[in-house]
Each structure stands twice: as structure tokens, then as C-alpha cells.
């Protein structure tokens, strides 16, 4: 079984990006399990003083979830042309301890949707950059940026949009291929 942990850059309950992760889970191939981690809103801002022998419970849970996964799939919107603060904070927690963080050498892909005409491309690029610096093994070719989220998904879950569901499924296959875990065809 290949385990992928999904992280949403949007903390909203009705987030279209969280729905993209749900779409990935619904369309995962046999032998692949995708679990969406819901604890990013509870993470304190990264502070090295908090990152000692007694790590905050939310940070420990995030690190454990990522460490226990074979890969990470991030779906994020774009806030002010960049990565949402909550997601960047999660990456900071995952990057520590320096050189041995839970994200180190973990295959990771970034997808997402945003209101604008480019679907959050800037945020996706910035997120990939931060993940690479943090030690993640970014799968550069595994990407989807869906524009016009408010219109496109106003009355349709991304899983019910055949084009988007196929694109997300392709990203999952690309991500799984990098884990070198055997998966049923």
C-alpha cells in the first residue's frame, strides 16, 4: 500500500483545494491510500524556542503524519500572489530539525485552484521552491493549476469535473511512480 498524505493550503471548511485532495482520494489507483491531514489550523507559528524536547502537539502530529507517508500531495490556493501563511508555516515545521525533517527526501507534488485566470501558479511555484529548500523531493512535472475556482466549482465538486479529476489522477500516478512502491495497474 502506498500512503500519501494530503495538505490543503486553505483552512476553510468548504475549500476547493481541500476538494481537490478529496478528488485525488476518490480517484486513487488500487494500492494507494490518500489521507487528508486536517490539523494545519492548530499549528502555532514556527518558533525555534517551541521546537525542543516538547514539541507542540499539532506540530508533532503533522510531522508524524508526513513521516509515516510515502509521499505528500499539497493543494493550495494563492494568497496575494504567494503561498498561504498556514501552509508555509507547516513547511517550516516539517523542515526541522535541519537536515532531518519529516519532509526530507519525501516525494511531494503541488496542485491547486484559485479564483484568478492562472489558477494559483505563483503560489504553486513558491510552494515547490519552499518544499525543495526544506528538503522535499519535489516532483516538478506533477502539477495542476485550475483557474476560475469560484465559477468552475460554484455548483460542481472537482471530482465531478471529468477534466480536473483526470488531471489530478495523473498527478497522483506521477507522485506514486516516484515512491518506487508497487501499485496495481
Structure confidence by residue, pLDDT tens digits, 124-140: 999 999 999 999 999 99
**Mean pLDDT of the region 4-28:** 96
Q: Is the confidence at residue 81, as pLDDT, over 60?
A: yes
The dihedral through the CA atoms of 18, 24, 26, 32 has a sign that is negative
3-class DSSP state for residue 149?
helix
Rounded distance between C-alpha atoms, residue 81 and residue 71, angstroms: 26
Q: Does residue 78 sit within a domain?
A: yes
Nine cell digits for residue 92: 517550516
Q: Can you give the CATH number for the domain in which 105 is found?
A: 3.40.50.360
Q: Does residue 75 sit within a domain?
A: yes
Q: Does residue 185 sit within a domain?
A: no
H-type helices in the chain, by residue range? 16-26, 57-67, 85-94, 121-134, 149-152, 162-179
Give 54's contacts (C-beta < 8 A, 6+ positions apart).
none
Host domain of residue 104: 2-179
Identify whether the C-beta of residue 120 lies closer than 8 Å to the C-beta of residue 81. no
Q: pTM score, two decimals?
A: 0.95
Instruction: Tell me the per-residue pLDDT of 33-69, one tens digit each, with 9 for 90 and over.
Output: 999 999 999 999 999 999 988 999 999 999 999 999 9
φ, ψ of residue 165 to 5 degrees: the values are -60, -40
Percent of the chain surpassing pLDDT 70: 97
Looking at the structure of the chain, the number of domains it has is 1
The confidence band for 2, taking pLDDT boundaries of 50, 70 and 90, is very high
Q: Does residue 63 sit within a domain?
A: yes
Instruction: Tell me the per-residue pLDDT of 86-119, one tens digit each, with 9 for 90 and over.
Output: 999 999 999 999 889 999 999 999 999 999 999 9
- Distance set, CA 10 to CA 20, 74, 77 (Å): 11, 10, 6
Q: Does residue 64 sit within a domain?
A: yes
Q: Does residue 184 sit within a domain?
A: no
- pLDDT at res. 185: 47
Rounded distance between C-alpha atoms, residue 22 and residue 34, angstroms: 8
Q: Does residue 46 sit within a domain?
A: yes
Q: Does residue 62 sit within a domain?
A: yes
Q: Is the confidence at residue 182, as pLDDT, over 90?
A: no
Mean pLDDT of the chain: 95
Amino acid at each position: 500500500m502506498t500512503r500519501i498524505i494530503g495538505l490543503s493550503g486553505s483552512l476553510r471548511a468548504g475549500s476547493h483545494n481541500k476538494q481537490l485532495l478529496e478528488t485525488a482520494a476518490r480517484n486513487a489507483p488500487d494500492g494507494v491510500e490518500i489521507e487528508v491531514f486536517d490539523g494545519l489550523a492548530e499549528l502555532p507559528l514556527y518558533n525555534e524556542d517551541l521546537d525542543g524536547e516538547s514539541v507542540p502537539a499539532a506540530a508533532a502530529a503533522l510531522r508524524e503524519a508526513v513521516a509515516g507517508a510515502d509521499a505528500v500531495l499539497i493543494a493550495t490556493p494563492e494568497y496575494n500572489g504567494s503561498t498561504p501563511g498556514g501552509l508555509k508555516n507547516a513547511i517550516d515545521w516539517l523542515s526541522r530539525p535541519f537536515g532531518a525533517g519529516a519532509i526530507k527526501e519525501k516525494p511531494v507534488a503541488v496542485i491547486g485552484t484559485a479564483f484568478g485566470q492562472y489558477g494559483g501558479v505563483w503560489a504553486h511555484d513558491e510552494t515547490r521552491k519552499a518544499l525543495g529548500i526544506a528538503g522535499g523531493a519535489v516532483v516538478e512535472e506533477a502539477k495542476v493549476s485550475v483557474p476560475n475556482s469560484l465559477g468552475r466549482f460554484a455548483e460542481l465538486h472537482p471530482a465531478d469535473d471529468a477534466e480536473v479529476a483526470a488531471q489530478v489522477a495523473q498527478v497522483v500516478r506521477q507522485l506514486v511512480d516516484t515512491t518506487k512502491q508497487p501499485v496495481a495497474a
